[in-house]
Amino acid sequence: MKNRLIALLVSVVWLAGCQQEVPETVRSGLVYCAEGPPEHFNPQRVTSGTTIDIISQQLYDRLLDIDPENGNLLPGLAVSWQRSADGLIYDFTLRQDVKFHQTRFFSPSRPFNADDVVFTFERIMEPSHPYHFLGGGNYPYFQSVNWAALVQQVSAIGPNQVRFELSRPDSSFLSNLATDFAAILSAEYAANLLTDGQQALLDSRPIGTGPFRFREYQKDVLVRLYRNTDYWRGQSAMEQLVFDIVPNNAKRMAKLLTHECDIVAFPRLAELTLISERPDVKVQESTSMNVGFWAFNTTKAPFDQVKVRQALAIAINQSAILQAVYFNQATAAKGILPPTSWAFEQKLPDAEYNPQRARELLAESGLAAGFSMDIWAMPVQRLYNPNALKMAELIQADLANIGVTANIVSYEWNTFRRKLSEGEHDSVLIGWAADNPDPDNFFSPLLSCAAADSGSNRALWCDPTFDLLLSQALSTDNQEARRAYYLAAQRHLHAEMPLVAIAHSQRFQAINANVEGVIINPYGGIALFAARRVLP
């Protein structure tokens, strides 16, 4: 003890300007500065991209993966798959010798097999499943695509063979399996926890098959992962991966510049030119399928009137928003589907800015005197909306022109989303980033009746005509036929205006110049498996 004290005293003296040697643990570790804390560690129950970025690609694998280059499906934990002629049965052959994580709290006794897949999906589908109601029985993504009605049964037809039986053909089924939400959990770990009466730990102390294994989570401070030395794709170059939680944009940028962070989520667009001039930082840009929008709570008056929604839509100045909030690093949105999608409707008119007409529309709805409303603005920066509060201020000023008084409301991010899914808002500035390349990913999770029930439909909009178009599109495999349905759906949305699409943004990532191999998937979270440090 005494020696230690002396050693410490010595190092105090050293502090006077002396360069300390960097220990191995720092050189072989990577720090990702995230914009918010994860809600928990189970991708099945998540909708926020913040949580997905932190947990999905690092801790888990999926049956299928998406090629970031072209959006094609790739084998993941499933090496091959077959679809029956009627499109109702899918058989998957699973990869062998894949090991689950070996950690301080769990040692797997067997490799990954069909039981794990069955466990993973039964948890979502079966209310009688012991884990179904862990966390309230909410699986927002799966509920929004009506998974329980679609998939009738998941069964193991061999130790490494799994069969999915569907109630109707669904052209987006495989894409849904490849989303970050469809991560495969360990059935053995869950069974162990059940025997110990510790079910709650399944979603807070995760076990997966991914490139990194869980070490610790200090709430709202950091998530620490270590590499999975048995990973089936090979070992990651980085021994340690830490997600440092820094909700404040300016602080995240400061940490990048002081090299406390290697990768920074969502650098401020205003600063892109500034940081790209620095030699020690590089900016990665990639196209991303996303949309930032302003959704009205259509269950509340006066937003249940189409004319009011249309009036609000033309009252806001989209090009001013693009300039002030996105610094013109985004495409102006005509509808919720980005132009890069094959189902995009070209013929939609550009967003209109017409306060005069907006006032007339309000007068026609009997609201000539104006009214007062809340605009909920996300407290964090997201891909599709880099600064919702600024956007809210712009909209507030625009609305004042047509006699509408707007109050800006914001809470801490997790609280914000909780209150949002309880439908307390009048209108909200939020958005959506695609999880897979299928166009349905923009419609069903966002605006279907099922999504209105699960809480991911921010407009709480339920329209039978629209839902019919979606289900018709899903029941066919013919791309031209699907396209026709989606075009109609987009035109219908434009007429009904449950939400105002604002912009499709590029995704940026600021990275320390000596880090390479960071893969940004246009259809989901960031993958850090291949990241490595290149020392000059």
Partner 1 sequence: MAKFRLYLEENNRSPLAQLWREFSRQHSALVGLTLFASFLLFSVIAPFITPHDPYFQADNLLLLPPSWAPDGLVQYPFGTDDLGRDLLSRMLKGTTYTFGLALVTVLASLMAGLALGALAGMSRGVKSSFFNHLLDLVLTIPSLLLAIIIVAILGPGLANTAWAIILALLPQFVHGIRNAIADQLKRDYVTAYRLDGANNWQVLTRVVIPNIWEKITVMSSMALSTAILDIAALGFLGLGAQAPTAEWGAMISDSMDLIYVAPASVAVPGLLIFAAVLSVNLLGDGLKVAIQKRRES
Partner 2 sequence: MIVFLLRRLFLLGTVLLGLSIFAFALGYLFPGDPLQNFSGLRYIDSTQRDLLISEYRLDQSYLAQYLAFLERIIAGNWGLSFASQQPLLQEIWQVLPATLELTAYALLLSFVLGVPFGILAAIKPQGVFGKTISGLALIGYSLPIFWWALLLIMFFCIGLGWFPSGGRIGVLYEIPNVTGFIMLDIMYADVSYQQAAFHDALTHLILPTLVLATYPTTVMIRFVRDAMLEVWDQNYIKTAKAKGLNRLQVLYRHGLRNALLPVIRQIGLQFSALITLAMLTEVIFSWPGIGRWLIDSIYQRNFPAIQSGLMIISTLVITVNMLTEILHTLFNPLARKS
Query: What is the binding site for partner 1 (CB under 8 A)?
Result: 248-250, 253, 268, 270-271, 274, 317, 319-320, 323-324, 387, 389-390, 392-394, 396-397, 408
In order of 296, 307, 319, 387, the CA distances from 41 in angstroms are 31, 42, 39, 26
Distance CA 356, CA 114 (A): 62
Residues engaged in binding partner 2 (CB under 8 A): 4-5, 7-8, 11-12, 14-15, 20-26, 29, 31, 136, 215-216, 218-222, 224, 240, 242, 244, 246, 251, 254-255, 257-258, 260, 379, 411-412, 414-415
Helices (H) and strands (E) in the chain, counts: 19, 23
Shortest distance, CB of residue 3 to partner 2, whole angstroms?
11
CA dihedral 508, 512, 515, 518 (to 10 degrees): -20
How many C-alpha atoms does 273 have within 13 Å on its Cβ side? 4
Out of partner 2, partner 1, none, what residue 57 binds, judged by CB under 5 to 8 A for its kind, is none
Nearer Cβ to partner 2 (186/512)? 512
Shortest distance, CB of residue 401 to partner 1, whole angstroms?
11
Out of partner 2, partner 1, none, what residue 369 binds, judged by CB under 5 to 8 A for its kind, is none
The answer to whether 434 touches 462, Cβ cutoff 8 Å, is no
Shortest distance, CB of residue 137 to partner 2, whole angstroms?
11
Nearer Cβ to partner 2 (259/492)? 259
Nearer Cβ to partner 1 (139/326)? 326
Q: Are strands 519-520 and 330-332 parallel, antiparallel or unpaired?
A: unpaired
Q: Which residues in 435-446 are b (16+ Cβ under 10 Å) and which e?
A: bbbbbbbbbbbb
In order of 14, 323, 339, 376, the CA distances from 312 in angstroms are 63, 20, 24, 15
Shortest distance, CB of residue 350 to partner 1, whole angstroms?
17
Shortest distance, CB of residue 139 to partner 2, whole angstroms?
17
Out of partner 2, partner 1, none, what residue 8 binds, judged by CB under 5 to 8 A for its kind, is partner 2
- What length does the chain have? 536
Nearer Cβ to partner 1 (107/323)? 323
- How far from the centroid of its chain's Cα atoms is residue 55's Cα? 11
Nearer Cβ to partner 2 (56/414)? 414
Shortest distance, CB of residue 229 to partner 2, whole angstroms?
17
Shortest distance, CB of residue 31 to partner 2, whole angstroms?
6
Shortest distance, CB of residue 44 to partner 2, whole angstroms?
19
The answer to whether 55 touches 180, Cβ cutoff 8 Å, is no
Residue bearing tokens 């709805």: 365
The answer to whether 291 touches 507, Cβ cutoff 8 Å, is no
On the question of a cis peptide bond just before residue 302, with omega within 30 degrees of 0, the verdict is yes
Out of partner 2, partner 1, none, what residue 274 binds, judged by CB under 5 to 8 A for its kind, is partner 1
Out of partner 2, partner 1, none, what residue 21 binds, judged by CB under 5 to 8 A for its kind, is partner 2
Distance CA 308, CA 296 (A): 10
Shortest distance, CB of residue 409 to partner 1, whole angstroms?
9
Out of partner 2, partner 1, none, what residue 16 binds, judged by CB under 5 to 8 A for its kind, is none
In order of 190, 203, 236, 458, the CA distances from 196 in angstroms are 10, 15, 33, 39
Out of partner 2, partner 1, none, what residue 116 binds, judged by CB under 5 to 8 A for its kind, is none
Out of partner 2, partner 1, none, what residue 128 binds, judged by CB under 5 to 8 A for its kind, is none
The answer to whether 56 touches 45, Cβ cutoff 8 Å, is no
Out of partner 1, partner 2, none, what residue 270 binds, judged by CB under 5 to 8 A for its kind, is partner 1
Q: Which residues are bridge partners to 431 per DSSP? A: 292
Residue 31: its H or E element: strand 29-34
